[in-house]
Protein backbone atom coordinates (compact mmCIF):
# COMPACT_ATOMS: atom_id res chain seq x y z
CA UNK A 1 0.00 0.00 0.00
CA UNK A 2 1.48 3.32 -1.04
CA UNK A 3 1.86 6.33 1.31
CA UNK A 4 -0.48 9.22 0.73
CA UNK A 5 1.16 12.21 -0.85
CA UNK A 6 1.49 15.41 1.22
CA UNK A 7 0.19 18.54 -0.38
CA UNK A 8 2.89 20.73 -1.91
CA UNK A 9 3.69 23.90 0.16
CA UNK A 10 5.33 26.87 -1.46
CA UNK A 11 8.40 28.60 0.01
CA UNK A 12 6.48 31.82 0.53
CA UNK A 13 3.92 30.05 2.62
CA UNK A 14 6.70 28.58 4.76
CA UNK A 15 8.15 32.00 5.33
CA UNK A 16 4.83 33.50 6.38
CA UNK A 17 4.24 30.56 8.69
CA UNK A 18 7.71 30.90 10.22
CA UNK A 19 7.20 34.63 10.84
CA UNK A 20 3.86 33.95 12.45
CA UNK A 21 5.31 31.29 14.74
CA UNK A 22 8.24 33.49 15.69
CA UNK A 23 5.93 36.42 16.41
CA UNK A 24 3.72 34.20 18.55
CA UNK A 25 6.72 32.99 20.54
CA UNK A 26 8.01 36.55 21.04
CA UNK A 27 4.59 37.75 22.10
CA UNK A 28 4.24 34.85 24.56
CA UNK A 29 7.67 35.55 26.04
CA UNK A 30 6.83 39.25 26.36
CA UNK A 31 3.50 38.65 28.03
CA UNK A 32 4.62 35.98 30.49
CA UNK A 33 7.83 37.65 31.79
CA UNK A 34 7.66 38.94 35.41
CA UNK A 35 6.55 42.52 35.96
CA UNK A 36 9.75 43.39 37.81
CA UNK A 37 11.84 42.03 34.93
CA UNK A 38 10.35 44.42 32.38
CA UNK A 39 12.66 47.40 31.73
CA UNK A 40 11.34 50.76 32.74
CA UNK A 41 10.55 52.57 29.54
CA UNK A 42 8.70 55.88 29.63
CA UNK A 43 7.72 55.45 26.00
CA UNK A 44 4.18 54.17 25.25
CA UNK A 45 3.85 50.42 24.77
CA UNK A 46 1.82 48.75 22.04
CA UNK A 47 -1.70 47.71 22.99
CA UNK A 48 -2.27 44.07 22.09
CA UNK A 49 -5.66 42.37 22.01
CA UNK A 50 -6.57 38.64 21.69
CA UNK A 51 -8.32 39.29 18.37
CA UNK A 52 -5.08 40.31 16.66
CA UNK A 53 -3.41 37.90 14.29
CA UNK A 54 0.26 37.19 14.54
CA UNK A 55 0.92 39.40 11.56
CA UNK A 56 -1.02 42.26 13.19
CA UNK A 57 1.03 41.82 16.36
CA UNK A 58 4.28 41.91 14.43
CA UNK A 59 3.24 45.05 12.58
CA UNK A 60 2.06 46.76 15.78
CA UNK A 61 5.35 45.96 17.56
CA UNK A 62 7.33 47.15 14.55
CA UNK A 63 5.39 50.41 14.40
CA UNK A 64 6.01 51.10 18.08
CA UNK A 65 9.68 50.30 17.70
CA UNK A 66 9.89 52.75 14.82
CA UNK A 67 8.09 55.36 16.90
CA UNK A 68 10.47 54.70 19.77
CA UNK A 69 13.45 55.17 17.47
CA UNK A 70 12.00 58.44 16.19
CA UNK A 71 11.36 59.61 19.75
CA UNK A 72 14.90 58.73 20.74
CA UNK A 73 16.21 60.68 17.75
CA UNK A 74 14.02 63.68 18.66
CA UNK A 75 15.23 63.56 22.27
CA UNK A 76 18.83 63.44 21.10
CA UNK A 77 18.27 66.40 18.79
CA UNK A 78 16.57 68.37 21.59
CA UNK A 79 19.46 67.63 23.95
CA UNK A 80 21.95 68.70 21.30
CA UNK A 81 19.95 71.89 20.74
CA UNK A 82 19.90 72.68 24.47
CA UNK A 83 23.63 72.05 24.68
CA UNK A 84 24.28 74.33 21.71
CA UNK A 85 22.12 77.05 23.31
CA UNK A 86 23.98 76.73 26.63
CA UNK A 87 27.34 76.94 24.86
CA UNK A 88 26.18 79.97 22.87
CA UNK A 89 24.95 81.66 26.07
CA UNK A 90 28.27 80.94 27.80
CA UNK A 91 30.13 82.32 24.79
CA UNK A 92 28.01 85.49 24.83
CA UNK A 93 28.62 85.89 28.56
CA UNK A 94 32.38 85.48 28.06
CA UNK A 95 32.36 87.99 25.21
CA UNK A 96 30.31 90.43 27.31
CA UNK A 97 32.80 90.18 30.19
CA UNK A 98 35.70 90.71 27.79
CA UNK A 99 33.95 93.71 26.23
CA UNK A 100 33.27 95.16 29.69
CA UNK A 101 36.94 94.75 30.62
CA UNK A 102 38.03 96.42 27.40
CA UNK A 103 35.60 99.28 27.99
CA UNK A 104 36.78 99.71 31.58
CA UNK A 105 40.42 99.69 30.47
CA UNK A 106 39.68 102.25 27.75
CA UNK A 107 37.82 104.49 30.20
CA UNK A 108 40.64 104.21 32.74
CA UNK A 109 43.20 105.09 30.06
CA UNK A 110 41.09 108.05 28.94
CA UNK A 111 40.73 109.21 32.55
CA UNK A 112 44.48 108.94 33.12
CA UNK A 113 45.09 110.87 29.92
CA UNK A 114 42.61 113.57 30.96
CA UNK A 115 44.20 113.80 34.41
CA UNK A 116 47.67 114.09 32.90
CA UNK A 117 46.42 116.78 30.51
CA UNK A 118 44.75 118.66 33.38
CA UNK A 119 47.91 118.39 35.48
CA UNK A 120 49.97 119.73 32.58
CA UNK A 121 47.54 122.61 32.16
CA UNK A 122 47.67 123.42 35.87
CA UNK A 123 51.47 123.32 35.81
CA UNK A 124 51.48 125.60 32.79
CA UNK A 125 49.05 127.98 34.51
CA UNK A 126 51.18 128.01 37.66
CA UNK A 127 54.25 128.68 35.61
CA UNK A 128 52.48 131.44 33.72
CA UNK A 129 51.23 133.03 36.95
CA UNK A 130 54.68 132.79 38.48
CA UNK A 131 56.18 134.42 35.41
CA UNK A 132 53.52 137.13 35.53
CA UNK A 133 54.18 137.77 39.21
CA UNK A 134 57.90 137.89 38.58
CA UNK A 135 57.47 140.30 35.71
CA UNK A 136 55.08 142.40 37.76
CA UNK A 137 57.33 142.56 40.80
CA UNK A 138 60.16 143.70 38.55
CA UNK A 139 58.08 146.33 36.76
CA UNK A 140 59.00 149.94 37.72
CA UNK A 141 55.40 150.79 38.59
CA UNK A 142 53.32 151.18 41.73
CA UNK A 143 51.55 147.91 40.87
CA UNK A 144 54.96 146.27 40.59
CA UNK A 145 55.92 147.66 44.01
CA UNK A 146 52.71 146.27 45.54
CA UNK A 147 53.31 142.90 43.94
CA UNK A 148 56.84 142.87 45.33
CA UNK A 149 55.50 143.65 48.81
CA UNK A 150 52.88 140.88 48.62
CA UNK A 151 55.53 138.42 47.45
CA UNK A 152 57.78 139.22 50.42
CA UNK A 153 55.24 139.69 53.21
CA UNK A 154 52.39 137.76 54.78
CA UNK A 155 48.88 139.11 54.32
CA UNK A 156 48.91 140.57 57.84
CA UNK A 157 52.28 142.34 57.40
CA UNK A 158 51.24 143.60 53.97
CA UNK A 159 48.08 145.12 55.47
CA UNK A 160 50.21 146.97 58.02
CA UNK A 161 52.60 148.22 55.34
CA UNK A 162 49.68 149.36 53.20
CA UNK A 163 48.29 151.32 56.13
CA UNK A 164 51.60 153.12 56.65
CA UNK A 165 52.19 153.94 52.97
CA UNK A 166 48.61 155.14 52.37
CA UNK A 167 48.99 157.63 55.20
CA UNK A 168 52.50 158.70 54.19
CA UNK A 169 52.15 159.06 50.41
CA UNK A 170 48.91 157.46 49.26
CA UNK A 171 51.08 155.11 47.13
CA UNK A 172 52.37 158.08 45.12
CA UNK A 173 56.02 157.46 44.40
CA UNK A 174 56.53 161.14 43.48
CA UNK A 175 54.86 162.53 46.61
CA UNK A 176 56.91 165.36 48.20
CA UNK A 177 56.38 166.93 51.62
CA UNK A 178 56.48 170.71 51.02
CA UNK A 179 57.64 171.38 54.55
CA UNK A 180 60.31 168.76 55.15
CA UNK A 181 61.15 167.66 51.64
CA UNK A 182 60.43 163.98 52.42
CA UNK A 183 60.01 162.10 49.18
CA UNK A 184 58.46 158.96 47.65
CA UNK A 185 56.26 156.13 48.84
CA UNK A 186 58.00 155.89 52.18
CA UNK A 187 58.57 159.65 52.57
CA UNK A 188 62.28 159.22 53.03
CA UNK A 189 64.03 162.26 54.54
CA UNK A 190 66.01 163.18 52.67
CA UNK A 191 64.88 161.31 49.59
CA UNK A 192 68.46 160.69 48.54
CA UNK A 193 68.66 158.03 51.27
CA UNK A 194 66.88 155.70 48.88
CA UNK A 195 69.84 155.76 46.50
CA UNK A 196 71.25 152.90 48.54
CA UNK A 197 68.53 150.71 46.96
CA UNK A 198 69.08 151.94 43.42
CA UNK A 199 70.07 154.90 41.32
CA UNK A 200 66.52 155.17 39.95
CA UNK A 201 65.01 155.93 43.38
CA UNK A 202 63.33 159.10 42.12
CA UNK A 203 61.22 157.34 39.45
CA UNK A 204 61.03 153.66 40.41
CA UNK A 205 58.42 152.75 43.07
CA UNK A 206 59.94 149.30 43.34
CA UNK A 207 63.30 150.74 44.36
CA UNK A 208 61.60 152.98 46.91
CA UNK A 209 59.70 150.01 48.36
CA UNK A 210 62.86 147.92 48.68
CA UNK A 211 64.51 150.76 50.60
CA UNK A 212 61.39 151.21 52.76
CA UNK A 213 61.21 147.52 53.72
CA UNK A 214 64.90 147.57 54.67
CA UNK A 215 64.38 150.72 56.76
CA UNK A 216 61.32 149.31 58.57
CA UNK A 217 63.10 146.04 59.33
CA UNK A 218 66.14 147.78 60.80
CA UNK A 219 64.07 150.21 62.92
CA UNK A 220 60.79 148.44 63.78
CA UNK A 221 61.36 144.81 62.90
CA UNK A 222 58.16 144.38 60.90
CA UNK A 223 55.65 146.57 59.03
CA UNK A 224 53.14 145.92 61.83
CA UNK A 225 55.73 147.27 64.30
CA UNK A 226 56.04 150.40 62.15
CA UNK A 227 52.25 150.72 61.92
CA UNK A 228 51.85 150.45 65.69
CA UNK A 229 54.41 153.22 66.15
CA UNK A 230 52.70 155.36 63.54
CA UNK A 231 49.34 155.00 65.25
CA UNK A 232 50.83 156.28 68.51
CA UNK A 233 52.93 159.08 67.02
CA UNK A 234 51.50 160.00 63.63
CA UNK A 235 54.81 159.30 61.94
CA UNK A 236 57.34 156.49 61.80
- Please say if the pLDDT value at position 38 is more than 60: no
Buried b (16+ CB within 10 A) or exposed e, 83-108: eeeeeeeeeeeeeeeeeeeeeeeeee
> What pTM did the predictor assign?
0.46
Digit-coded pLDDT (tens) for 134-167 = 666 566 899 999 999 999 999 999 999 999 999 9
CA 199 to chain centre: 62
> Residues 167-203: pLDDT tens digits?
999 999 999 999 999 999 999 999 999 999 999 999 9
209-227 tens-digit pLDDT: 999 999 999 999 999 999 9
Helices of type H across 139-185: 142-152, 155-168
pLDDT mean across residues, the chain: 81
Q: Which residue has the higher pLDDT, 161 or 78?
A: 161
Neighbours of 216 (CB within 10 A): 23
Amino acid sequence: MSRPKLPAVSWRTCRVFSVAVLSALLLTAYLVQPADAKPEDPRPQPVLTPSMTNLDVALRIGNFQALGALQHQADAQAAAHRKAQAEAAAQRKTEARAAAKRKAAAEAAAQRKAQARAAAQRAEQRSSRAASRKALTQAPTVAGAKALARARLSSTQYACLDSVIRRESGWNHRATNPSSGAYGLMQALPGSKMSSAGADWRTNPRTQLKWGLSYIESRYGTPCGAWNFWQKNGWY
